[in-house]
Amino acid sequence: MGVRAMLTDKRVKNLGALAALCAGVLAWGTAAAQQFPVKPVRIVVGFPAGGPTDVIARVVAQDMTASLGQSVIVENRTGANAIIATDYVARAAPDGYTTLFSSLSLLVNAILSPDKIKYDPFKDYAPVSNAALLPMLIVTRPSTPVNSLGELVALAKRRPGEVTYASPGHGGSGHLAGATLETLAGVRMTHVSFRGNAPALVDVMSGQVTFMFYPMIGIADHVAAGKLKVLAVGTPKRHPDYPSVPTMAEAGMPALADTAPWVGLIAPAGTPAPVINRLSEDMRKSLARPETRERLRVLGAVIVGDTPAEFGALLKKDYERWARVIKAAGVKVE
């Protein structure tokens, strides 16, 4: 056999081996999807129990436990504006058994601290489905001497730096909404960061902090109990729970409504596509159930339930939008 023939034969064998390897990987992925899940699935949340992200994650987990036939367990790993949880899931085995219920912190942390975080929001994760959007409310203590967004802005202009706003963490949804308000109104306020929405809300209700942007989850009970008042809502139309409260657009700042954060499920990159699709399908089934839709409606969430491809497109668009907001507001890493 000549040298050329030997080389040709070697190439054919290599191509055959490569084809066999690809077929093996495809077969493994198909088998994994057919068998998935064979043990409990974890949904990791980077924020404390009781906050908006956690509440919706638990609603979805309860439904998916029934549809998947395995326990779906919510695990809170708090700290560093969800960086701890986000990094943890990036390094988890890409088998569908460890997932992340995330929000815009996934993207914002990468924008604010590109040299410090260990993950890439696009290369290290596979989108599963966006569960919902959480319209924001501007809330304050009833005794605060302002009764509208306009009066809040006027107070901030009279007392530069004295008006404070709470958020669930530096670079979180509440922080960026507050920074957007400062930019739009041309005022200077003081941001106070907490480890989660729930503890931030406690200090707003006690009067330690002037106000905050809070996702419309569980607020109605506090308002009914006289612990909070709502200055503006981030929904397109007035919300039936707060019919006398103007929308942010009616208050003259429609751009504030665009700060509504999303909450959705992602998995480590490399998770087999059939497994991603199974998780996505079961999550969308959960969100389509009348009982689930009603529970989330009462909480104030706007259900989405999209495909992995649609969610991936949203993530890219949201990244670009928040990059513009952060630059315009001059938000810096702590």
CATH of the domain at 246: 3.40.190.10
Residues 289 and 311 occupy one common structural domain: yes
The b-or-e profile of 135-147 (16+ CB within 10 A means b, else e) is bbbbbbbeebebe
Asked if residue 268 and residue 126 are part of one domain, the reply reads yes
User: Would you say residue 23 lies in a domain?
Assistant: no
Q: Per the structure block, which two tokens stand in for 182? A: 């400062």
Average pLDDT over residues 324-333: 83
Residue 150 maps to a domain? yes
- Alpha-carbon gap, residue 135 to 214, rounded angstroms: 8
How many domains does the chain fold into?
A: 2
Q: Which of 259, 275, 290 is the last residue of a domain?
A: 259
pLDDT of 299: 82
Do 143 and 190 lie in one domain? The reply is yes
Among 6-20, 159-173, 206-220, where is mean pLDDT lowest?
A: 6-20
Residue 174 to residue 213: CA distance in whole angstroms: 5
Residue 86 Ramachandran class (φ > 0 left, ψ -120 to 50 alpha, else beta): alpha
Residue type, 229: K
**Is the domain of 254 the same as that of 144?**
yes
Indicate whether 126 and 176 sit together in one domain. Answer: no
Q: Which residue has the tokens 């409260």?
A: 245
- Is residue 20 situated within a structural domain? no
Same structural domain for residues 116 and 143? no
Q: What is the pTM of this model?
A: 0.79
DSSP category for residue 109: H
Q: Which domain holds residue 322?
A: 39-133+261-329
Question: Measured between alpha carbons, how far is 252 from 254 in angstroms, rounded to an integer?
Answer: 6
Question: Which of the four pLDDT bands, split at 50, 70 and 90, describes residue 4?
Answer: low
What's the CA gap between 23 and 19, in Å, rounded?
A: 6
Q: What is the mean pLDDT of the chain?
A: 89
- Quick one: DSSP state of residue 247? B
pLDDT recorded at residue 113: 87
Looking at the fold, whether 167 and 271 belong to one and the same domain comes out as no
